[in-house]
Amino acid sequence: MNQESITPAAIERAGVADVRIRWRDGHESLYPARALRLRCPCASCVEEMTGRPLLDPATVPEDVHPEAIGLVGRYAISIRWSDGHSTGIYTFKLLRDLG
């Protein structure tokens, strides 16, 4: 994967809940909010040493949505979720792999 394919041209909300990323290579990815929330890579949601999921999907509301999306340097975004969670850093590489 080259650098252009993991560099966003635009990051925006898609409707009320979802997240859309248009990549510099022309590809577009749409991330359903709940699916993205369930893939949170933070230490509260994923066991750091094994990668085992710690987040119980039953605790994430069906209508969870981003309240704010911010850049983390030039490599990731952070999302403040409507369920109060905000510690995940979603790298552009992770997002491209998911999308």
For 99, the token pair is 């999308």
Tens-place pLDDT, residues 11-60 = 999 998 999 999 999 999 999 999 999 999 999 999 999 999 999 999 99
Q: In this predicted structure, what is the pLDDT of residue 6?
A: 85
Which domain does 13 fall in, by range?
A: 3-98
Work out how many domains the chain is built from and give that number: 1
Q: Distances in Å between the alpha carbon of 66 and those of 17, 52, 59?
A: 6, 24, 16
Q: Distances in Å between the alpha carbon of 64 and those of 13, 36, 53, 61, 68?
A: 13, 10, 19, 5, 12
